[in-house]
Chains A and B, each alone.
Chain A
Amino acid sequence: KQEVTQIPAALSVPEGENLVLNCSFTDSAIYNLQWFRQDPGKGLTSLLLIQSSQREQTSGRLNASLDKSSGRSTLYIAASQPGDSATYLCAVLETSGSRLTFGEGTQLTVNP
């Protein structure tokens, strides 16, 4: 059974700092990996999707990497801003395509 772990569970940083969020998964037979953002009381917003054949994806100040063989992904946020404060979730889609398994998330606070 696929298990997804995110470390740390919570992170507080000053504005402007570069930071890394970590995601690990137990079964490397994945189809893709997605990073989501969730604001309090809101739904999820997809940030980046990495196919299993890719190593990284970039969008603005966000860069996500994938090392399938070691079961790891990182989300790098450059020059963090208070508006980046949210919970960040990673999820892996198994190769059958039938199940997207989520981690428990990292709650990020960026202080002005």
Chain B
Amino acid sequence: NAGVTQTPKFRILKIGQSMTLQCTQDMNHNYMYWYRQDPGMGLKLIYYSVGAGITDKGEVPNGYNVSRSTTEDFPLRLELAAPSQTSVYFCASSYSRWGPYEQYFGPGTRLTVT
């Protein structure tokens, strides 16, 4: 299994541009999550999904959108990029949020907005 994969690994955006960060998991997990990690900080939840067609906001959703059309994919869309969105973005998945089910993380996308 490849686990959780993310593309691209790095990206530089100009202010006002838009882009989609891709996330795919091959573990047939129902739950998927998007986090951002700012330098020297812990991770903050942006959006999460409990299954195809169902998404919900996390702690810092402003400036982002998500969709979940399949179990495997959970893309994160940035509209009108701002310097405050410069961060490392991690996608994660888990079988369930209940029980002893840990979250598996992708390698991250490092985004710079200038």
Give the contact-size bracket for chain B. Answer: 20 to 34
Point out the residue from A43, A91, A97, A101 that lies within 8 Å of B98, measured CB to CB.
A97
For B58, the closest partner residue in chain A by CB is: A99
Distance to closest chain A CB from B94 (angstroms): 9
CB-CB < 8 A to A32: which residues of B? 100
Q: Which residues of A contact B4 (CB under 8 A)?
A: 43
Residues B42 and A105 in contact, CB atoms below 8 Å apart: yes
Contact A98 B56 (CB under 8 A): yes
- Consensus secondary structure, chain B interface: loop
**A31 pairs with B98, CB closer than 8 A:** yes
Per-residue B-contact encoding for A88-112, CB less than 8 Å = 1, 0 else = 0101010001111111110000000
Chain A CB within 8 A of B79 CB: no
Please report the C-alpha to C-alpha distance between residue A4 and residue B104 in the assembled complex, in whole angstroms. 20
Interchain CB contact under 8 A, A51 and B106: no
User: Is A28 engaged at the interface, CB distance under 8 Å to the other chain?
Assistant: no
A103 to B42, CA, bound (A): 5
Q: Residues of A contacting B45 with CB < 8 Å? A: 99-100
Indicate if the CB atoms of B108 and A42 lie closer than 8 Å: yes
Report the separation of the CA atoms of residues A103 and B37 in the bound assembly, to the nearest whole angstrom.
11
What are 13 contact pairs spanning A and B, CB under 8 A? Answer: A31-B98, A34-B102, A43-B4, A44-B90, A46-B102, A49-B101, A51-B100, A89-B42, A98-B48, A98-B58, A102-B42, A104-B40, A104-B41
Residues of B within 8 A of A (CB): 4, 33, 40-45, 48, 56, 58-59, 90, 92, 97-98, 100-108
